[in-house]
Chains A and B, each alone.
Chain A
Amino acid sequence: MIISRFYVRSSRLLKNGGAVISRAVQTSSENNAANAAAEKLEIKKELPSQNRRPLYLDVQATTPLDPRVLDAMMPYQVSYYGNPHSRTHAYGWESETAMENARKQVASLIGADPREIIFTSGATESNNIAIKGVARFYKSKKNHVITTQTEHKCVLDSCRVLEGEGFDVTYLPVKQNGIVDMKLLEETIRPETSLVSIMTVNNEIGVKQPVADIGALCRSKKVFFHTDAAQAVGKIPVNVNDMKIDLLSISGHKIYGPKGVGALYVRRRPRVRVEAPQSGGGQERGMRSGTVPTPLVVGLGAACELASEEMEYDCGRVNMLSKRLLDKIMSNVSHVIRNGDPEETYPGCLNLSFAYVEGESLLMAIKDIAVSSGSACTSASLEPSYVLRAIGTDEDLAHSSIRFGIGRFTTEEEVDYTAEKCIEHATRLREMSPLWEMVQEGIDLKTIKWSQH
């Protein structure tokens, strides 16, 4: 849903940079009709010039691959190419050993048993297997699934598919701070509820859900609990036993690992059964057929091990930088609202609404910084993010929100530059705005009756 400002790497052909190309141009000779449609939807992607690359503050979208992770993966990209499922020769055995070692590394980060880890292609696939898999397996006895309105698209979409199959799905509203109402959740659980799926850390507003409380509640009601922890694992402590989690999704590229790999934790005791959506050779305990990509899972394992070693250090840094950015902006710009709970949050995800500033204009003004707008925008309709809408953010504030992502490799310099640019441009844009002028004069904008247009 979030449209990240997307920069194609400056290619050698475009040394001068600054050139504006759209995909429509690249494929112009192929299909004119399709191009016309594509052109409409395409956001113009401006390539940064060679030595003016924007700062990266969008670590919720993806993180850079840690060089230490790449170093662990390289041998399996260039030398050890065996299929880890080959049983008859050393090529297979060496890959299998690496895969099982990676499984251990992933398991130990979340306090699980290695046999409970299933490798997948990413958190989207993990979520699909968990939600559709559990719901379908227990369909004959239970047909109710609970989730929240602020979940990731792939969770919501999996639930929509289940609804089409005759399941009953409850999309719980969240409180104004983005946190699920435990009392409401308890009331919503019924005897036919098979699964509760609530994410650990929200990808847009960074809010942390009370996962341990939800886990305890679900266990007491004998309902399986799945959590999408793609934004949480490796950043905050997660333990599947302490938190009574039955299924948990992990993504590689959110924890400085490779893209295209993830994992799903599936509890063995008490056993959780899933109906595999994908048919095939029965790898990964039959839950996810298909050859496990050794280099990628080695990278995921290395990223998990690094994350557990570096969690304390990274956390300290992220906390400090997040506070620095927030304080700088808040003390220099008025009417800035932080979306989501200020306490129960992962500080690396900072979602701010700049009131009386048009979000898209601000994003364009600070294009030296790669950030996301909280609002989903297609060229056809400018619709605010459903997550912000779910926490009751005003339409105009939702339109002016920006998500700042701070991670392991973010520096003080980058944070300061970001704060300065935001202050400068938010102030400038407000000075041009008639709305801001009215606010300065003390007119409450909510009382104005705008003429229909």
Chain B
Amino acid sequence: MASTRNQVLSLYKHLLKEGQQLSDYNFRSYARRRVRDAFHENKTETDPQKIQKLIGKAVENLDILKRQVTVGKLYGQGKLIIER
């Protein structure tokens, strides 16, 4: 169980960190919000099968995020008027 906990926490941290690298303001805000909400929503999950499924999804999303951060950097545009 301890290893699962560590794995989940590590994924959470990595997803948040990677999400902050997105160059688009809207995508960046969405990534942070969505990752937080998804982890909070499932934090009481006890079914090991479901947990494994969610972990799989998180890993997949982390890969997507890494690739899309790169793509975003290649074609990055300017900042929005409300960004500092």
Contact = CB atoms under 8 A, between A and B. Distances in A.
Interface in B27-84: 27, 29-30, 34, 37, 61, 64-65, 67-68, 71-72, 77-83
A409 B29 contact: yes
B79 A51 contact: yes
A409 B81 contact: no
Interface in A33-90: 48-56, 64, 67-68, 70-71, 74
B26 A67 contact: no
Contact of A67 (B29, B72, B77, B81): B72
Interface stretch (A21-29, A168-176, A411-419, A445-453): A411-419
A399 interface: no
A283 interface: no
A67 B29 CA distance: 13
Nearest to B22: A67
A411 to B, nearest CB: 5
Given A67-B27, A67-B68, A10 B81 contact: no
Contacts of B77: 9-10, 53
A6 interface: no
B78 A67 contact: no
Contact of A56 (B26, B65, B78): B26
A71 B68 contact: yes
Contacts of B81: 48, 52-55, 368, 417
B75 to A, nearest CB: 10
B38 to A, nearest CB: 8
A50 B83 CA distance: 12
A415 B33 CA distance: 16
A200 B31 CA distance: 30
Contact of A408 (B25, B30, B72, B78): B30
B10 to A, nearest CB: 21
Nearest to A72: B64
B78 A49 contact: yes
B78 A10 contact: yes
B78 A51 contact: yes
Nearest to A56: B26
B29 A71 contact: no
B78 A55 contact: no
B37 A55 contact: no
| Interface size range of chain A in the complex | 20 to 34
Interface in A197-226: none
Nearest to B79: A51
Contacts of A56: 26
B79 A411 contact: no
Contacts of B25: 411
A291 interface: no
A411 B31 CA distance: 12
A406 to B, nearest CB: 12
A53 B30 contact: no
A89 B43 CA distance: 47
A52 B78 contact: yes
B21 to A, nearest CB: 12
Contact of B82 (A48, A50, A414): A414
A105 to B, nearest CB: 16
B83 A70 contact: no
A410 interface: yes
Contact of B26 (A9, A50, A70, A410): A410
Contacts of A414: 82
Interface in A355-369: 368
Interface string A385-410: 00000000000000000000000111
Contacts of B27: 64, 67, 409
A291 B42 CA distance: 43
Interface string A233-277: 000000000000000000000000000000000000000000000
Contacts of B72: 67
Interface-central residue, A67, A409, A410, by most chain B CB under 10 Å: A67
Given A54-B80, A64-B26, A71-B68, 18 more contacts: A9-B77, A51-B78, A51-B79, A52-B81, A53-B77, A53-B81, A56-B26, A67-B65, A67-B72, A68-B68, A71-B64, A74-B67, A313-B34, A410-B26, A411-B26, A413-B29, A413-B82, A417-B82
Considering the complex of A and B, which 4 residue pairs feature the smallest CB-CB distances, nearest first?
Answer: A409-B26, A67-B68, A50-B78, A51-B79
15 contacts: A10-B78, A52-B81, A67-B22, A67-B65, A67-B72, A68-B64, A70-B68, A70-B71, A71-B64, A71-B67, A313-B34, A408-B30, A409-B26, A409-B27, A409-B29
